[in-house]
Amino acid sequence: MTRNVAATRPAVLVLARHPDFGPVKTRLAADVGAAEARRIYAALAARVWEGLADPAWERWLWITPAAACAAAADWLPGADRVEAQPDGDLGARLAAAVAAACAEPRPWVAVVGTDAPDVDAALLRGAAVRLRPEGGEADAVVVPAEDGGYAALLLATPAPELFRDVPWGGPEVLAVTRRRATAAGLVLAETAPVRDLDTAADLAWFRARARDARH
């Protein structure tokens, strides 16, 4: 990535699966049913999407399947750009999204999922100041998930090696990412972990926390 960072804003790249175009949240669906899992996922993704709105950056929506692109704006409105996720595993899709955003000079890009309700603009702003272009020490900042994956990754350079041969969906994702960063000579910083909503237990935790916050 060029270091002429004045030309464009950062880009926050949100990867989502449209709930009306196939199954979502299969582990959660096993406990609550497919229809309820779709409803929960649609609401969760909308929460994350809305929480990431910030005039400091562009917000791109990378949607799957490709047939859902036209419907995406009705579900998650306000994207600066909507793209179909390409074929391949999650790593290939993440790398493609980052490469597309880095076709223009940017201070940093972030890839974000839609599973962690605590990922929002404030969290990304706090993470971004740790990147080299913002005066920090890191080439990348990861937002760990409590299950061993990660909920967001901010990059000051495209770093496609962080997305290759990763056991996506398993508990070793973060550990492998750390090793990939070390092997590539990249300084990887980490925020406090957040929790994904993947199971009935996760959903119960989130609802209990919401109830406590109201009292």
pLDDT tens for each residue of 105-162:
999 999 999 999 999 999 999 999 999 989 999 999 999 999 999 999 999 999 999 9
Cβ contact 197:145 at 8 Å: no
Record the pTM: 0.93
pLDDT tens for each residue of 6-34:
458 999 999 999 999 989 999 999 999 99
Whether the ω angle into residue 193 lies within 30 degrees of 0, i.e. cis, is: no
State mean pLDDT over 180-191.
97
What pLDDT score was predicted for residue 3? Answer: 40
What is the rounded CA–CA span in Å between residue 39 and residue 24? 10
What domains can you pick out in the chain, each with its CATH number? 11-214 (3.90.550.10)
pLDDT tens for each residue of 24-63:
999 999 999 999 999 999 999 999 999 999 999 999 999 9
Where is 60: in which H helix or E strand? strand 58-64
Contacts of residue 39, defined as CB under 8 A and 6 or more positions apart, other chains included, come to 19
What is the rounded CA–CA span in Å between residue 205 and residue 202? 5
What is the rounded CA–CA span in Å between residue 201 and residue 155? 32
